[in-house]
Structure formats: C-alpha cells, structure tokens
Amino acid sequence: MSEDKKQKRETDKAKRRFGRLWSVLAFVAALTIVGGLTWKAGLWDYRSADAQLAAIEAAYAIPESEDAGVAYRKLTENHLPLPRDPPVVDRQALRLTVEKPWLSQDYPRLSAWLDERQDLISKLLDISKMEKCRLPIPLDRQQVSYFANPVRQMRGWAYMLVRSANMDAAEVRIDAAIEKYACVLQMGSHLRQQPVLDYYNNGVANESLVLDAMKEFVTRTQLTEKQLAAIEAALLPAEDKWKKHLRIMLKVQRLLERRGRPRLTDWRRYWAYRKATSKSDDSALSTTRGFHLRTLANRRNVHILIALRRFKNETGHWPQSLNLIEPSLSTEMLTDPRDNTPFVYELTGEDFRLHGKGEN
C-alpha cells in the first residue's frame, strides 16, 4: 500500500512539473506574440516623433528624376492656384461641364478660360507619365502655404482637366479626352502613395471626380478597342487595399499628434490638447472608409461599363444581363464593396442602369 502511495505522489509531482512547464511556455509564447504585435505597431519605438517621421520619409524616398512630387512643386512656383469653379459661367453650367460632355460653342467663356491654360494642362499631362510620387509629410500645417502646397492645388487642376476632357469628348477628340481623364486618375494615384491620411483623402476625391465623368463617357461614346484598353490601363486595380494603406497612415497621424503635444508644465495648452485629441478617430475614419468604398464601387463600375461597351461593339446592342459579360470579369469586379453584394444591371429598352443593391 505504501508503494502505491509513493508512486501516486511521484505521479502527482510529475503532473505538477509538467503543468508548470506548459504554463511557462504558454506565457512566453503569449509574451512573444504580444511583443511582436506591439513592436509592429510601433508602441515600443522610443525614438522621438520627428525621428520616426524622418525614418518614414527616408524609407519612401526615391530619386528626384523619378519623383512626380518634384514636378508638382515646380508647377506651384510657376502657376497661380486655380479655383475649383472658375467665375466665367453660372453655377449650373459649372456643375454640368464637370459631369457631362459639353460644346465650346455653348460655353465660349469657359472654353476660352481653358485655352488660356493649355501650358499648365500640357505640363500636367507630362507629369502623369511618371509612376511614383513623394510629397513631404506636413509637419506644421499652419506654416504650409496654400501657394506652395501642390496637394491643395491639385483639386483645382483636377476640375480643370475633367472639364477640358468633357469638352474634348463632346467635340470628338476622343484620344485627347482619354489622356486627360487618365491624367486625373494618375494624380489621384500619386496622392494615394503618400502615408498621410489627408493626402489619401484628396487622392480619393480626385479619382471620384473623374470616375463620375468617365461613366458617362464610356456609356455614351462610341469607343474603339484601343481606346477601351487605354481607359482600362489608366484605372487603378479593383482590389480593396484599404487596410494596407490605413496602417501606415494611422502611424503617421499619431506621430503628428504626438509631435504637437505641449509640455505638461504648460498645463493650459496641454489640457486643451488632451481634450482635442482624446476624441475617438472612429467617426472620421468611418467617413474616409465610406468615401473610399464609394470610389472603389465607381471604379469597378467603369470596368463593368467597359465590358458592356465591348459587348455592344461586337453585337450592336447591350446585353440582357451581366451573365453575358461575366467570363471577362472577376467575381470581385462584379461585387459592390459597400455591402459585398453583386451589382444590379437593369436593361430598359435602348438604355440600362447599373447600381448597387443599397442605392435608391
């Protein structure tokens, strides 16, 4: 009996040792995982905010000869900022000339305004041939002059180019129109390459502006296969890369906030800073995410419209359903990213409607 008790005690001790060993291993594994995630998030990076921002800029650096940002900054030195809506026609005309093709004879003053800016348009078209762009992280927004900030001026340039492209489309200068649409898309791509949330938002806004015009253009204009291929090549990929962009943009945003933090001894300014920065970013990020998804949906719409146009070029009519063009498009392309449901295609006589299920 005593031998049995002794063996039982030895077995219990072995179990306890084994349990302690597994506890230690589990703790070390958990610590390793948490530490890795914390390091990846930058929470254990004890360098100053300025040092970390400088490191990010260094990692993004490219040769000046390949940098569209250098060319954009030169443009701001040689050209005055453009208004989004030039004061040469009424507000209704300004809206229509951005949304749809228009004739110079209908709006001669706007046509003349664009003619006066052909040099600027030509330079923007040249810059759009550059793939990469780097713009400085704005360390102090209050000190960044509007006149020297290409990001703030690009909005005016985008509206100018879209209006000019829409005039070209109406007057059957199709290749010229496509080149200008592609230029605005590339401007949007250039801004999206920056690790700054505000720059990303501006890039999305520029892309959204031109996609709305391009949907009308592809639907209403007789386009050749070469022209359709040129439009396809200009469009950004249809994949949702939001998470990839978000991580670095949030890191830069936190560093900029940390850089502007007052000293604890200056308690009045510190308290005001804490009140301003303690609010959740969820609302702002949700708005940005929604805008991003709407633009991504429009981008996929243009890809679908190109496939529909190809079908009509081959058959002389629009397809009865999207099933007839599905083989040429991925499932992702046919899916509305806002609710992950298929886009709805409704044929009505000689026309059609393409929309998401959530739209009215």
Tell me: the pLDDT tens digits for 56-97? 989 889 999 999 999 999 999 888 889 889 999 998 999 999
Distance CA(104)–CA(93), nearest Å, equals 12
Q: What is the mean pLDDT of residues 271-293?
A: 65
Residue 286: per-residue pLDDT: 76
Which pLDDT score is estimated for 343?
Answer: 95
Q: What pLDDT, in 10s, does the model give residues 186-227?
A: 999 999 999 988 899 999 999 999 999 999 999 999 999 999
C-alpha to C-alpha distance for 131 and 178, rounded to whole angstroms: 18
What's the one-letter identity of residue 43?
L
Residue 279 binned pLDDT confidence (cut-offs 50, 70, 90)? low
Residue 266 clears pLDDT 80, i.e. is over it? no
Residue type, 15: K
The per-residue pLDDT for range 295-311, each reduced to its tens digit, is 999 999 999 999 999 99
Closest CA to 347 of 229, 215, 219: 219
Contact 335, 328 (CB under 8 A): no
Mean pLDDT taken over the chain: 84
Residue with tokens 């998804």: 293
Q: Residue 144 above 60 pLDDT?
A: no
- Contact between 233 and 185 under an 8 Å Cβ cutoff? The reply is no
Predicted confidence at residue 312, as pLDDT, reads 95
Amino acid at 187: M
Residue 9 has pLDDT above 80, yes or no: no
| Cα–Cα distance, 208 to 185 (Å, whole number) | 9
Least confident of 38-52, 115-129, 213-227: 38-52
pLDDT at res. 2:
61
Instruction: Output the CA–CA distances (angstroms, integers) from residue 335 to 110, 209, 342, in the order listed.
Output: 39, 21, 4
Does residue 191 contact residue 200 with C-beta atoms inside 8 Å? Answer: yes
Give CA–CA dist 292/310, Å, rounded: 27
Given a cut of 90, whether residue 147 has pLDDT beyond it is no
- Confidence category of residue 43, pLDDT binned at 50, 70, 90: very low
Most confident of 88-92, 229-233, 289-293: 229-233
Question: Which position has the higher pLDDT, 318 or 287?
Answer: 318
Q: Helix H segments across the chain?
A: 2-41, 49-60, 68-78, 91-99, 108-115, 118-127, 150-170, 174-192, 197-220, 225-234, 242-259, 267-277, 282-315
Please tell me the predicted confidence (pLDDT) of residue 114. 97
Task: Provide the pLDDT confidence category of residue 30 given band limits of 50, 70 and 90.
Answer: low
Residue 51 makes CB contacts below 8 A (sequence gap 6+) with none
Please list, in sequence order, all residues whose beta carbon lies within 8 angstroms of the beta carbon of residue 63, skipping any fewer than 6 positions away: none
List phi, psi (to 5°) of 176: -65, -40
Output Rg (C-alpha) for the chain, integer angstroms.
28
pLDDT at 132: 96
**pLDDT grade for 259, boundaries at 50, 70 and 90:** confident
Tokens 């291929």 sit at which residue?
Answer: 229
Is the pTM higher than 0.85? The answer reads: no
Among residues 137, 139, 129, 144, the alpha carbon closest in space to that of 194 is found at 137
At 265, list the tokens.
Answer: 């001894």
- Selected residue with higher pLDDT from 169 and 136: 169
User: In this prediction, what percent of the chain has a pLDDT beyond 70?
Assistant: 78
Residue type at position 343: F
342 has pLDDT over 90: yes
